[in-house]
A and B are shown apart, each in its own frame.
Chain A
Amino acid sequence: MSNRIDQLFAGKRTGVLNIYCTAGYPELNDTLPVMKALQQYGADIIELGMPFSDPLADGPVIQDSSNRAIRNGMSLKVLFEQLKDFREQVHVPVLLMGYLNPVLLYGIENFCKKCAEVGVDGVILPDLPMDEYESEYKPVFEQYGLHLVFLVTPETSEERIRKIDSLSKGFIYAVSSSSTTGKDKDMGNQQIYFERLKSLQLKNPVLIGFGIKDKATFDAATTHSNGGVIGTAFIRAIENATNLDTAIQQFVAGVK
Chain B
Amino acid sequence: MKIAENTFGSKYHVDEKGFYGRFGGAYIPEMLYPNVDELQRNYLAILREPGFQEEFDQLLRDYVGRPSPLYFAKRLSEKYNAKIYLKREDLNHTGAHKVNNTIGQILLAKRLGKTRIIAETGAGQHGVATATVCALMGLECVVYMGSIDIKRQAPNVARMKMLGATVVPATSGSQTLKDACNEAIRDWINNPVDTHYILGTAAGPHPYPDMVTRFQSVISEEIKKQLLEKTGRENPDYVMACIGGGSNAAGAYYHFLDEPDVKLIAVEAGGKGVHSGHSAATTQLGKLGIIHASKTLLMQTEDGQITEPYSISAGLDYPGIGPLHAHLYETGRATFLNATDDEALQAAYELTRLEGIIPALESSHALSKLGQVAFKPDDVVVVCLSGRGDKDMETYIRNLPGNTGGNV
Q: Is B150 positioned at the interface, with any CB of A under 8 Å from its CB?
A: no
Please indicate the chain A residues that have their CB under 8 angstroms from the CB of B27 in the complex. 100, 127-129
Contacts A53-B173, A53-B306, A54-B178 given; does A105 touch B287 at CB 8 Å: yes
Q: Are B172 and A63 in contact (CB under 8 A)?
A: yes
Contacts A56-B185, A57-B189, A155-B192 given; does A150 touch B304 at CB 8 Å: no
Residues 13-38 of B at the A interface (beta carbon under 8 Å): 25-31, 33-34
Q: How far is the CB of B358 from chain A (nearest CB, A)?
A: 35
What residue of chain B has the Cβ atom nearest to residue A74's Cβ?
B303
What residue of chain B has the Cβ atom nearest to residue A99's Cβ?
B290
Docked pose: A56 CA to B28 CA in angstroms? 9
Contacts A54-B306, A127-B27, A127-B290 given; does A105 touch B189 at CB 8 Å: no
Q: Is B155 positioned at the interface, with any CB of A under 8 Å from its CB?
A: no
Q: Are A57 and B31 in contact (CB under 8 A)?
A: yes
Contacts A56-B185, A129-B27 given; does A105 touch B190 at CB 8 Å: no
Q: Is A152 positioned at the interface, with any CB of B under 8 Å from its CB?
A: yes
Docked pose: A152 CA to B34 CA in angstroms? 11
- For the side of the interface on A, what is the size category? 35 or more
Contacts A105-B300, A151-B30, A156-B30 given; does A178 touch B305 at CB 8 Å: no
- For the side of the interface on B, what is the size category? 20 to 34
Q: Is B81 positioned at the interface, with any CB of A under 8 Å from its CB?
A: no
Q: Is A14 positioned at the interface, with any CB of B under 8 Å from its CB?
A: no
Please indicate the chain A residues that have their CB under 8 angstroms from the CB of B287 in the complex. 105
Q: Are A54 and B291 in contact (CB under 8 A)?
A: yes
Q: Are A178 and B192 in contact (CB under 8 A)?
A: yes
Q: Which of A57, A70, A101, A156 has the most CB of B within 10 A?
A: A101
Per-residue interface assignment for chain A, residues 70 to 103, with 1 indicating a CB less than 8 Å from any chain B CB and 0 otherwise: 1000011100000000000000000000011111
With A54-B178, A101-B306 already in contact, 17 other A-B pairs whose C-beta atoms are closer than 8 Å: A56-B182, A56-B186, A57-B186, A76-B303, A101-B298, A101-B304, A102-B305, A127-B290, A128-B27, A129-B28, A153-B33, A153-B34, A155-B192, A178-B31, A179-B31, A179-B189, A180-B186
A-B contact pairs, 25 of them (CB 8 A): A52-B305, A53-B306, A56-B186, A56-B292, A63-B172, A67-B173, A75-B305, A77-B303, A101-B290, A101-B291, A101-B304, A102-B305, A105-B304, A126-B30, A126-B31, A127-B28, A132-B25, A153-B33, A155-B192, A156-B33, A175-B30, A175-B31, A178-B192, A179-B189, A180-B186
